Each structure stands twice: as C-alpha cells, then as structure tokens.
Copies of this chain bind each other. A is one copy, B any other.
Amino acid sequence: MALIIQKYGGTSLGDAGKIKKVAHRIRDTYLDGNNVVVVVSAMGGDTDRLLDLARDITDQPDEREQDVLVATGEQVSISLLAMALKSLGINAISFLAQQVMIQTDNAFGKARILKIDSDKILKALKERMVPVIAGFQGIDEMGNITTLGRGGSDTSAVAIAAALKADICEIYTDVEGVFTTDPNVCSEARKLDKISYDEMLEMASLGAKVLQIRSVQFAKKYQVPILVRSSFQDTKGTLVTMEDKDMESVIVSGITYDKDEAKITVTKVPDRPGIASKLFTPISEANIVVDMIIQNVGTDGLTDLTFTVSEADFEKALELVRDTAREIDAQEVLADPNIAKVSIVGMGMRSHSGIASTMFTVLAREGINIAMISTSEIKISCVIESKYTELAVRILHDAFGLGENKEA
C-alpha cells in the first residue's frame, strides 16, 4: 500500500464528463489498496473567466481581492470532484487551503508556500477517506487568501507530497510526459521514461512547459518523485527523480528551443568598471528580465556587449539601452528580434567532452550561423536566426541519437 498524491490540471477537469472520468481513475487507485490524496486546479477556462470579471470592474484589480476571486475556481473543482467520488461510493472530502493550513507568505498572486499542517489530511487518510485539496491557493499569517501564480497547483501537489512524505506525486496533464523535444517540430521526438530534477529544470525553463519550474525545485529539495502522465491515456508517463547511474550514460536528454527572444548589441563600449551596471540597471528597474549576456574581451579599451530579452520587452529595452549608450559614448546599438535560442540538455555532459563541438559542427554543416553561445554544467544554448529553429532542433535531435530506441 502506497501513499499517492494525484494532481489534476484544468484540462483534465474541463467539464462534468471529464470530472467523472477523473473520479473513476482515483477510485481505481484507491481500490487497489492505496491511500490517495487529490490536488486539483480550477476547471479549464474558469480562471480566465474570473479574471475577465475583475477586468470588467477595474483595470487594476486590488491584488488581495483578486486572489479571493480566483481562488473560487479551485473551490468549485474540489467540491464537484468530491461529489463525483461520493456518488461512486468513495468517502471523499474536499479541503480548501485554509482548512489544511497551506500557509504562504503574503505576496498576493505569487505567494510561496511556507508550511503545511498535515494533521487533518493524515487523520482523513487514517479513516480511509480521499482528501480532495484545492491547489494554487494558500493563506497567509493574517488569514488572507493567497494564490501561487499560474501553474501553482503543481507546486501545491509537490508540497503536499513532501509534507506527507508520499511515495509519489502523480501530475496528470494533457500530454503523455516529457519528450526529448517538441513533437510538433520533430516527428522523431520520444517520450522519456525518466529525467533528473536538474535536467527537468533546464527543460522547463527553456520552454518545454510541462511542469511549473517551482514545483520541480520543490521536488528536488524534498526529493519527491514526480510522475508526469496523461489523464486521457493510460500510458506510463515520465518519472522526474533524483539522478542515477542510468542517467549518466545518456549524454543528451533533450533539445529545447525558445523563439520568444530578441537580441540587442551595443558596440564599442568603453571597457571600464561600472559600464555593465550602467547599462543593465535601468532595464532591471523596468522589470525586464535579461536572459543571456555576452561580453567579448575588448581591444583598444573598447568592447561589444550583447544580451537577449523576451520579445514582449524588446521595444522598451531598446529604448532604455539607446539612452544609456549615448551617455556612455558607445558607438551604436544593433537590434534583432528575429532570433531563437536552441539548447541541448543532459546530465551526461558533465562527464563527456566534445558535446559542445558536436553541437557547433552539426549546426555549421547546415549553414546555420551561431550568434551567441551560453553554457551551464548540463546545458549548452546557441542563439541562431529564428527561421532555422525547426531545422536546428531536428538535426540536433538526430545527431545526439534521441530518436533511437523508440518506445511503443
């Protein structure tokens, strides 16, 4: 008998029919003799409907009140799912965040979980009940309702799994698991059986949006194994877990890409202390996140500095940089929104040499020019012209043998 956390997202709970299907799956797991704790998101589309209501009232909804508003989405789904389970003869009980004391800080709309009181949940489990808990929400010290931000239910589920020392946290979603790359771009893409927390973090932050990044960080910290799987199919899914010997033998686990990037270069910047700070302070003050930053070694006391931002922030960043460039007497500001970042991710890189040069060679062979390079311990990213993105993904996927050993 295992203790299993099952988290169901909005698409899995889109309507009454889907909620009943989810109830059947939970019942099956429960009748196999397991203890089951369920964590749910709002029904698909409900959070957007609620945000629209707020926007009809005011352009700038109060953050505390907006959390009170959107938290109703999960409240609706826990009650409906508990009803569905009860009608199947399963003794389910819904819990709101405040009822099981999911305590967070008071950063409305992006709160962080501080503590979970597992007593009430454990008591329900002891009576062979199935607790159905509202994800995405919490309460702060003052008893105010908070929410964790988009995708926060994943983090709720992992945090509850950690608090209860669950055997596994199953995340049910509309994809079958984590793939070696985007199947829409590369038909050879293969579902991974297993991936390490660190690889998953690089994959997720690079655009393979299966799990909320924070939930993976949480899972890594508390060593909670996560199984990502489809709620519509009965396939095995991908296990996100601690790195093991198996993983070391795989050099590259996946290829990711991000087209939502734009590049800004400032040429002939006087190469003296404080220049980078002068350039980036106004940008960070405008809440613009800078992704990659490259500075070449300068000659003649001058250097070129290139960085990338998201396309949404591009115009604003460009304006700010032009102002600073005049101030610091740089030569000119070059801008290019038509770029993409392609990355290879894998634990094996740490112990294998030549991975980077393979990547560069493969891209060069197809005439794809590399504008920027950035590396971490388990990832290499190249910025290329946007139009070559899909081609680059496919040839890298092939070069690192990710399409081989296809599963059924």
Interface of chain A: mostly helix, strand, loop or mixed: helix
Q: Interface with B: A62-70, A182-190, A204-212, A353-361, which one?
A: A62-70
Given known contacts A16-B53, A57-B20, is B86 in contact with A78 (CB within 8 Å)? no
Chain A interface residue count, Cβ-Cβ cutoff 8 angstroms:
37
Q: A58: which B residues are within 8 A, CB to CB?
A: 83-84, 86-87
Q: A83: which B residues are within 8 A, CB to CB?
A: 54, 57-58, 61-62, 65-66, 69
Q: How far is the CA of A262 from the CA of B286 in the complex (A)?
A: 72
Question: What string of 1s and 0s marks CB contacts (under 8 Å) between A14-50 and chain B?
Answer: 0110011000000000000000000000000000001
55-91 of chain A: CB within 8 A of chain B: 56-58, 60-62, 64-66, 68-69, 71-72, 75-76, 78-80, 82-84, 86-87
Q: How far is the CA of A96 from the CA of B64 in the complex (A)?
A: 13
State which of B53, B57, B65, B82 has its C-beta within 8 Å of the C-beta of A62: B82
Task: Quote the shortest CB–CB distance from A270 to chain B (angstroms).
Answer: 48
Q: Are the CB atoms of B143 and A87 closer together than 8 Å?
A: no
Q: Is A99 an interface residue (CB 8 A)?
A: yes
Q: Are the CB atoms of A75 and B75 closer together than 8 Å?
A: yes
Q: How far is the CA of A185 from the CA of B163 in the complex (A)?
A: 64
Task: Quote the shortest CB–CB distance from A42 to chain B (angstroms).
Answer: 11
Closest to A74 in B: B72
Q: Is A98 an interface residue (CB 8 A)?
A: yes
Q: Is A94 an interface residue (CB 8 A)?
A: yes
Closest to A17 in B: B56
Q: A93: which B residues are within 8 A, CB to CB?
A: 64
Q: Are the CB atoms of A76 and B87 closer together than 8 Å?
A: no
Q: A145: which B residues are within 8 A, CB to CB?
A: 96
State which of B20, B68, B94 has its C-beta within 8 Å of the C-beta of A78: B68
99-123 of chain A: CB within 8 A of chain B: 99
Task: Quote the shortest CB–CB distance from A31 to chain B (angstroms).
Answer: 19
Q: How far is the CA of A71 from the CA of B94 in the complex (A)?
A: 13
Q: How far is the CA of A94 from the CA of B62 in the complex (A)?
A: 11
Count of identical protomers in the assembly: 2
Q: A98: which B residues are within 8 A, CB to CB?
A: 98
Q: Are the CB atoms of B69 and A79 closer together than 8 Å?
A: yes
State which of B57, B66, B71 has its C-beta within 8 Å of the C-beta of A87: B57
Q: A65: which B residues are within 8 A, CB to CB?
A: 79-80, 82-83, 86, 94
Question: What string of 1s and 0s marks CB contacts (under 8 Å) between A218-257 and chain B?
Answer: 0000000000000000000000000000000000000000
Q: Are the CB atoms of B16 and A57 closer together than 8 Å?
A: yes
Q: How far is the CA of A333 from the CA of B155 in the complex (A)?
A: 67
Q: A68: which B residues are within 8 A, CB to CB?
A: 75, 78-79, 82, 94, 96
Q: Which of A57, A78, A87, A96 has the most CB of B within 10 A?
A: A57
Q: A54: which B residues are within 8 A, CB to CB?
A: 79-80, 83
Q: A57: which B residues are within 8 A, CB to CB?
A: 16, 19-20, 80, 83-84, 87
Residue numbers of A with Cβ under 8 A of B are 15-16, 19-20, 50, 53-54, 56-58, 60-62, 64-66, 68-69, 71-72, 75-76, 78-80, 82-84, 86-87, 93-94, 96, 98-99, 143, 145
- 10 chain-A/chain-B pairs, Cβ below 8 angstroms: A15-B56, A50-B76, A54-B80, A57-B80, A62-B86, A65-B86, A65-B94, A68-B82, A69-B75, A69-B76
Across the A-B interface, the 9 shortest Cβ-Cβ residue pairs: A16-B56, A69-B79, A72-B72, A68-B79, A58-B87, A65-B79, A62-B86, A65-B82, A65-B83
